[in-house]
Chain A
Amino acid sequence: MKLSRNWLDEFTRVGVSDKEFCDRMTMSGSKVETLDVLGEDITNVVAGKVTEIVRHPDSDHLWVCQVEVGRDKPVQIVTGAQNVQQGDLVPVALDGSTLPGDKRIEKGVLRGVPSEGMLCSLGELGLTVNDYPYAIADGIFILQEPCEVGQDIREVVGLRDSVVDFEITNNRPDCLSVRGLAREAAATFDTPLDLPEPKVKGSGDSILNYLDVDILEPDLCPRYTARFVKNVRIAPSPEWMRRRLRASGIRPINNIVDITNYVMLEYGQPMHSFDYRCITGSHILVRRANKGEQMATLDGSPRTLTPDMLVIADEKKAIGLAGVMGGENSEITEDTTAVVFESANFNGTSIRRTAIALGMRTDASSRFEKGLDPLGTLPAVERACELVELLDAGDVVDGVIDVVARDSAPRKLRLEPEKIDRLLGIEPSPEYMRRVLEKLGFTFDGDEMTIPSWRGDVEHYSDIAEEVARFYGYDRIPATAFRGVITQGGLTEKQTLEQSCRRLCRDMGFHEILTYSFIGQSDNDLSGMPADHPLRDSFRILNPLGEDSAVMRTTLLSTLLKSLALNNNRRNRDVKLFDLGKVYLKDDASPLARETRHLALGAYGEGGEFYAMKGAVEAVLRLMRVREPEFRACGDHYAYHPGRCAKICAADGRELGVFGEIHPNVRANYGIADPLCAAELDFDALCACRGEDPQYVPLPRFPAVLRDLAVVCDEEITVCRLEKCIREAGGDLLKAVDFFDVYRGLPIAPGKKSVAFSLSFRGEDRSLKDGDIEPHMNAILEALESQLGAKLR
């Protein structure tokens, strides 16, 4: 909301600097976005009178003027403009003056004739023909404003003003008006407030002779108020009105249209004017649009309407889109002779939806959508008619049509200072509270307040507390430490584990990434997920920004691969990333998602080999104290190399995750040439199968005896099976079996491999001798050979 301080002064005189005005208004709740000091960039430009004009001796288009500018003698100025006459009043930019657009004017010599400055056009002063309809665009601005020779041009053309642009919160549509902001300013600066009531003289006759109004949709239009003006004389509105419209960012058009805009700015109540001859049947109906109904709006665009939309219609057709924009068919034109002023109250949500659906948010709709004062229609239409009389723009016919389809009773509240004090932690006096509230339009009957009709946002003592606090000053409320019962802060066990897990991953060289929760189905395609895979059954966003962000992810793999691919494409070498985030799974028992935390790791380059990834996964499993996890070869995961992928299972068989080398086809989908590995673990499941806290076990008192063992076996025999066999056959004294090498090639036969383990034997009560170990080694060898066909190498 752009506010002209000159206009504001009409209602309450706030004699402070622009800076102080902006600061204090901001602190009382009307946040200032920008301050525009009009004419700031115009200096040393004055009104001058051309006393003599002759042809330039050396040019066929230049003129040499003598111009009185209030100095001892006239200044000589050379101009190329052709519309200047002797006796004209013109804007004169003197030597050393500045104009909008960082222009600087200095004296000079034009074709041998000295010139003391420049005569200005509208454009050079930052004005347009809309501001001064009597002037021309391509020529000197010949002033018709009352002014004195030598007077600062900013005063003459109304550029001595500051325009403050406020960010008005949605709950305060009343502040989208000069009068609303005047109330705020008067309460902020404690200045007297004068909000005059409009008075219409009238010219006899009766509106009832001309117009009927019916509201067919009382819920969408609680009130419709109209007045009628005949003998309309369309003309430009006066300079003061155009100036204020311009300052508020509205383009002046003609007196009738300008009046409706002026009243909207002043009262916050949007208005509309219809050309009476276009209202078929002299009957206005407020109804829903018919399905597919067509109407051209004032901006010249044809619109196709739906029954959700409210229109203003006559007996034949729609003549306006209620609360948004008038119809082209009832537009005020040069030859309009009679006008209906509409001032109505519409349902905010309905107006907003119509404006959004048609993509045409207007000054009117943006006010209506916030819910306007139900009692605001009458004063606004009265003010419009008062202005018609003031501007002599027509004859206001007596009488008002005011259809009240939904009545609204004034709300009342008790002023309860002690409750307010308790909420704010300060104790302003009840008298102070009352004074502030009265400034804002609250009326009192003892402790009982009547809330002004334009304050639909006030309904509870906490609202009153805010009114008091914002004028008392939020900054004057002392900052305190809250008292009361001590609460124990802290993280839950799972939150702590999450932190530890993130730290471990970082310590292992993985960088933490941040990925979107939603992906596209095409991302699942890229990661190789089959079309009928259960993880495709995901939450879909019905109104996504695009298809690439339309489904909630059910795995972290696709976002991880995307991040790895981005790095690979940017030629970043040796990249290790991790993501600890949520996946969103369907849950039969709930309309909401089973939001489960997963941990994804991914790497290429150094540290991107299978066993490096497995080492990282094992470190995470250790951190999470997953006891005896099992790695099961997995040849059928859509995203992984069938021979280089494993499922991770807990001791009870529960699946905890999967890891491996990414399938070359999947890799190729992302344009990654080099092998890469990934892992995805169900973090919540890891937490669930976390083992007990460790208990101390006494350190061994006797040394261990180590024996290395290398056996040759078939390729298919896994290390895990060999190890298990060794453990089972090794007896109580065998304390550890550590794999350390696998060898293929000569002299080992093709299809066979040699696997080496280091075995550690230890007694609890003595140092072991060879003789103690021998039988166990024999038992191990025998078991390996009989069960797995593995022979000592």
Chain B
Amino acid sequence: MKNKLEEIRAKSLAAIQEALDPSALDAVRVQYLGKKGSLSAVLKQLGSVSPEERPAMGQLANEVRAKIEAALNERGKALQDALLERKLREETLDVTIPGKAVETGAKHPLQIVWDECVDIFVGMGFQVAEGPEVELSTYDFDKLNIPEGHTVREWTDTFYITEDEKVHLRCQTSPVQVRVMEQQKPPIRIISPGRVYRKDEIDATHSPMFHQLEGLVVDKGITMGDLKGCLDVMLKRLYGPETVTRFRPHHFPFTEPSCEVDIQCFECHGAGCRVCKGEGWIELLGAGMVHPKVLSGCGIDPDEYSGFAFGVGLERLVMRRFSISDLRLLFDNDVRFLRQFS
């Protein structure tokens, strides 16, 4: 009997290894372990074995069964794995075929720069103030120290809505300063991005409508040094920590002292090249200490408070940032242009 069991073990294990697919393996299982299988047949003879040998034989039979079952399982798993592997191999895709398109829309380049600027200043404790674009001359001119007769008030420069010149399209974002100062007591820290209008024919660098970002800080003890510090932060955030700035005296009616701010040309680092038209510097924005007349006109005592203001044309930043040479592209809205900013 022992020999029979050993024979079953050897034959079955060999048959298991020879089975090439799950159904063949199943046949092996039935042949050896089934109710009418070889092992059952041998076990039926267990009764004829002497009682002394019976436990050992029983144990051996169980060992053989366990062995066969383990081999069946192992082989079964291997066959399944092989089958799956073959199937998966057949499912191989060309991963270089382009994915199914999910087009997301692009942010307009102007909005990119707008949002960046807003982020920078919000981080410095600024709020975003808004004001009307169809504006009263009081706010856009009178209270900004731009008296009647000033050249920007000419009909050749400003778009008028009323004959009496009291209502026009604002030509700067500065009237928002006045509106905020009239309504809010210092400390004031606002920026005001928005549309402004000037009577310029459309060309590669001019547009009758463009965008400015105005900034205003009013508090006790605000100095010109603070203005420099604030704009330094902004320009370094926009153009990188290596940015070199230059503050140069200039004139604006609503600030005193006033300055223009240049950044050193990225291309030539100040030596002078075609990008900066040989100057080594690129003019970027105008700024200054809020004119005492403007402060007092808004009910803020210039002897107690001081402040600074700045204004920057966003289109100029956008064009520089993305190397766009023609302003008109920004207003064309050709998707081949827009998609580039996705």
Residue positions of A touching B, CB distance < 8 A: 26-29, 31, 169-172, 348-349, 352-353, 356, 369, 422-426, 457, 460, 462-463, 465-466, 469-470, 474-475, 477-492, 495, 499, 502, 505-518, 539-545, 549, 552, 563, 566-567, 570, 572, 574-578, 582, 584, 591-593, 595
With known contacts A481-B229, A511-B105, A512-B111, A517–B195 Cβ distance under 8 A: yes
Residue of B nearest to A492 (CB): B128
Are A512 and B133 in touch, CB under 8 angstroms?
no
Contacting residues, chain B, for A578 (C-beta < 8 A) = 105
Contacting residues, chain A, for B247 (C-beta < 8 A) = 474-475, 477
With known contacts A422-B221, A572-B335, A479–B134 Cβ distance under 8 A: no
| A477-B246 Cα distance, complex, nearest whole Å | 11
Are B219 and A485 in touch, CB under 8 angstroms?
yes
Q: Name the contact of B160 in the complex, choosing from A29, A495, A507, A543 (C-beta under 8 A).
A: A543
Are B134 and A515 in touch, CB under 8 angstroms?
no
With known contacts A462-B257, A470-B257, A592-B136, A513–B338 Cβ distance under 8 A: yes
Are B199 and A543 in touch, CB under 8 angstroms?
yes
Are B257 and A465 in touch, CB under 8 angstroms?
yes
Q: Name the contact of B127 in the complex, choosing from A484, A490, A511, A552 (C-beta under 8 A).
A: A490
Between-chain CB contacts (< 8 Å), 24 pairs: A27-B246, A29-B248, A31-B260, A169-B250, A170-B151, A172-B251, A353-B154, A425-B224, A465-B289, A469-B257, A470-B249, A474-B247, A481-B230, A487-B125, A487-B188, A487-B189, A488-B127, A506-B107, A508-B105, A517-B209, A549-B208, A563-B332, A584-B134, A592-B136
Q: Name the contact of B134 in the complex, choosing from A29, A348, A552 (C-beta under 8 A).
A: A552
Q: Write the nearest CB–CB distance from A365 to chain B, whole angstroms.
A: 12
Residue of A nearest to B290 (CB): A462
Q: Write the nearest CB–CB distance from B205 to chain A, whole angstroms.
A: 16
Are A479 and B225 in touch, CB under 8 angstroms?
yes
Are B167 and A592 in touch, CB under 8 angstroms?
yes
Are B128 and A485 in touch, CB under 8 angstroms?
no
With known contacts A482-B217, A544-B159, A491–B128 Cβ distance under 8 A: yes
Interface status of B90 (Cβ within 8 A of chain A): no
Residue of A nearest to B250 (CB): A169
Are A567 and B333 in touch, CB under 8 angstroms?
yes
Interface status of B19 (Cβ within 8 A of chain A): no
Contacting residues, chain A, for B167 (C-beta < 8 A) = 591-592
With known contacts A482-B230, A512-B105, A489–B126 Cβ distance under 8 A: yes
| A576-B342 Cα distance, complex, nearest whole Å | 14
Contacting residues, chain B, for A426 (C-beta < 8 A) = 224-225
Are A26 and B223 in touch, CB under 8 angstroms?
no
Residue of B nearest to A507 (CB): B104
Are A489 and B125 in touch, CB under 8 angstroms?
yes
| A474-B231 Cα distance, complex, nearest whole Å | 14
Contacting residues, chain B, for A518 (C-beta < 8 A) = 208-209
| A28-B251 Cα distance, complex, nearest whole Å | 12
Are A424 and B223 in touch, CB under 8 angstroms?
yes
Q: Write the nearest CB–CB distance from A571 to chain B, whole angstroms.
A: 10
> What per-residue 1/0 map shows which CB atoms of B85-128 lie under 8 Å from chain A?
00000000000000000111111101100010010011111111
Q: Write the nearest CB–CB distance from B150 to chain A, whole angstroms.
A: 8
Q: Name the contact of A505 in the complex, choosing from B105, B121, B156, B166 (C-beta under 8 A).
A: B105
With known contacts A462-B289, A506-B106, A572-B335, A591–B127 Cβ distance under 8 A: no
| A502-B111 Cα distance, complex, nearest whole Å | 10
Are B230 and A584 in touch, CB under 8 angstroms?
no
Interface status of B61 (Cβ within 8 A of chain A): no
Are A489 and B104 in touch, CB under 8 angstroms?
no
Are A491 and B334 in touch, CB under 8 angstroms?
no
Q: Name the contact of B149 in the complex, choosing from A349, A483, A490, A495 (C-beta under 8 A).
A: A349
A477-B224, A574-B103 known, 10 other contacts, Cβ within 8 Å: A348-B149, A369-B151, A422-B221, A460-B292, A474-B224, A479-B225, A489-B125, A512-B111, A514-B108, A592-B134
| A471-B86 Cα distance, complex, nearest whole Å | 84
Q: Name the contact of A506 in the complex, choosing from B105, B133, B149 (C-beta under 8 A).
A: B105
Contacting residues, chain A, for B260 (C-beta < 8 A) = 31
Contacting residues, chain A, for B106 (C-beta < 8 A) = 506, 511-512
| A430-B160 Cα distance, complex, nearest whole Å | 47
Are B110 and A424 in touch, CB under 8 angstroms?
no
Interface status of B161 (Cβ within 8 A of chain A): yes
| A544-B161 Cα distance, complex, nearest whole Å | 10
Are A591 and B289 in touch, CB under 8 angstroms?
no
Are B256 and A460 in touch, CB under 8 angstroms?
yes
Are A26 and B248 in touch, CB under 8 angstroms?
yes
Q: Name the contact of B331 in the complex, choosing from A485, A510, A515, A591 (C-beta under 8 A).
A: A515
Are A567 and B104 in touch, CB under 8 angstroms?
no
Interface status of B228 (Cβ within 8 A of chain A): yes
Interface status of B336 (Cβ within 8 A of chain A): yes
Are B159 and A541 in touch, CB under 8 angstroms?
yes
Are B160 and A483 in touch, CB under 8 angstroms?
no
Residue of A nearest to B337 (CB): A511
Q: Name the contact of B187 in the complex, choosing from A172, A487, A515, A545 (C-beta under 8 A).
A: A487
Interface status of B232 (Cβ within 8 A of chain A): yes
Are B251 and A481 in touch, CB under 8 angstroms?
no
Contacting residues, chain A, for B208 (C-beta < 8 A) = 516, 518, 545, 549
Q: Name the contact of A509 in the complex, choosing from B105, B166, B221, B289 (C-beta under 8 A).
A: B105
Are A423 and B189 in touch, CB under 8 angstroms?
no
Residue of A nearest to B108 (CB): A512
Interface status of B142 (Cβ within 8 A of chain A): no
Interface status of B162 (Cβ within 8 A of chain A): yes
With known contacts A512-B106, A552-B134, A592-B135, A570–B223 Cβ distance under 8 A: no
With known contacts A482-B217, A541-B160, A514–B225 Cβ distance under 8 A: no
Are B124 and A489 in touch, CB under 8 angstroms?
yes
Q: Write the nearest CB–CB distance from A627 to chain B, whole angstroms.
A: 27
Residue of B nearest to A540 (CB): B161
Interface status of B172 (Cβ within 8 A of chain A): no
| A11-B127 Cα distance, complex, nearest whole Å | 51
Of A349, A466, A517, most B-chain CB atoms within 10 Å: A466
Interface status of B222 (Cβ within 8 A of chain A): yes
| A470-B250 Cα distance, complex, nearest whole Å | 9
Q: Name the contact of A423 in the complex, choosing from B103, B220, B306, B335 (C-beta under 8 A).
A: B306
Residue of B nearest to A516 (CB): B209
| Contacts of B45-64 to chain A: CB distance below 8 A | none
Q: Write the nearest CB–CB distance from B136 to chain A, whole angstroms.
A: 7
Contacting residues, chain A, for B201 (C-beta < 8 A) = 545
Contacting residues, chain B, for A369 (C-beta < 8 A) = 151
| A725-B306 Cα distance, complex, nearest whole Å | 67
With known contacts A31-B248, A502-B111, A462–B292 Cβ distance under 8 A: yes
Contacting residues, chain A, for B187 (C-beta < 8 A) = 484-485, 487
Contacting residues, chain B, for A353 (C-beta < 8 A) = 154
Are A577 and B333 in touch, CB under 8 angstroms?
yes
Are B118 and A491 in touch, CB under 8 angstroms?
yes
